[in-house]
Amino acid sequence: MSETLLAGKSLAVFDAYGTLFDVHSAVQRHEGAVGPEAGSLSETWRTKQLEYSWVYGLIGRYRSFWSLTEAALDFALARHPGVDRSLRERLLDAYRDLDAYPEVPATLDALRARGLRTAILSNGDAAMLERAVASADLGRHLDATLSVDPAQTFKTSPAAYRIACDRFGVGPEAVLFCSSNRWDIAGAAAFGFATAWVNRRAAPDEYADLPPTIVIGSLDALIAPA
């Protein structure tokens, strides 16, 4: 499986939030203080964060992803009035230092050992990505950490995916793009990337006209023996 998937590829590009980093680990870190609504709060926070990126991208009023993350948490706290609002700063600090999924470092190293370069391409702005990568000690496993900020828009805009090609001087056919977000996979497939959907939650498929090249449950499947 991995040899066929990686044939002809020189660059493996990864979404960050939800793919390399567990976006729910911020709330989980303070689950005791948040209380019984912790799971729902975290889901609302993530849903609104993404919704805001699509809305602002479509209307052409780009805002930093960190500002959208803050606004999404404010909405989530308002939606869950039983959660103590004084936790806001602690939750934001935890989001700056999200946990990486355990298989990430070894997967990145194995891909680089096979001759591929590795990079993040994320909606996150440069400052939040730099901190996330540093806190998870992933910098030594990556050749680049790329934000969509130069394009002043978010994925799924083609301009966002083009950043990776321009940075490494390759065409879309040389890229394997990995994301846990099915909408992100659809956008990357439309751009021309081969795609690996990291379906960690066994979600049903969608965007049938823009299928992933492969569906995997975790990133280490990329380097599993055929």
Catalytic annotation, residues: 15
Q: Tell me if residue 144 falls in helix, strand or coil.
A: strand
The token pair at 63 is 């805002």
Helices 88-96, 126-135: inter-axial angle, 10-degree rounding: 80
Q: State how far the Cα of 30 lies from the Cα of 28, in Å rounded to an integer.
A: 5
Instruction: Give the DSSP H/E element, type plus range, for residue 44.
Output: helix 38-59
Q: Could you tell me how many helices (H) and strands (E) the chain has, helices first?
A: 10, 6
**How close are the terminal C-alpha atoms of the chain, in Å?**
5
Q: What value does the CA radius of gyration of the chain take, rounded to a whole number of Å?
A: 17
Q: State how far the Cα of 30 lies from the Cα of 18, in Å rounded to an integer.
A: 18
Q: State how far the Cα of 108 lies from the Cα of 58, in Å rounded to an integer.
A: 33
Q: Tell me if residue 176 falls in helix, strand or coil.
A: strand
